[in-house]
Structure 1
């Protein structure tokens, strides 16, 4: 199966740029995420971490 895909992908001009773009997107996403986590304020983190323990305000839940 991989030989079939590889054979057709070799015929496309400039196909080598897509793995590089994917790696850059992946790397940039995690760098931005790390920056956001490291600069987040402690009160905000406490507030967000307690969301699962707060009572629900949605009255349309099925039981």
Structure 2
């Protein structure tokens, strides 16, 4: 089975570019995410981190 797949992949021209593109997309996503995390405002991070606690407090007061 593996020999068939290897022979089939070798017959496709230009297929070697797809793993490179997927690696660049993967790496680029995490670079952008890393930059966003370090440039995000502290007030925004604090507000977003308190959202689950605020929802929990609302649920407890409704009961």
Structure 1 length as normaliser, TM-score?
0.78
State the shift of 1:53 in Å: 1.1
* Cα shift at 1:51: 1.2
Residue 55 of structure 2 aligns to a residue whose secondary structure is coil
Q: What displacement does 1:22 show?
A: 0.5
Size of the alignment, in residue pairs? 57
Q: What pairs with 1:8-47 in structure 2 (closer than 5 Å)?
A: 8-47=8-47
Instruction: Specify the alignment match of 1:3 in structure 2.
Output: 3
- Where does the alignment leave 5 or more consecutive residues of structure 1 unmatched? 58-63
Give how far 1:55 is off. Answer: 2.2
* Structure number having the greater helix percentage: 2
CA RMSD of aligned residues (A): 1.7
Structure 2 residue runs without a partner (length 5+) = 59-63
Q: TM-score, normalised by structure 2?
A: 0.78
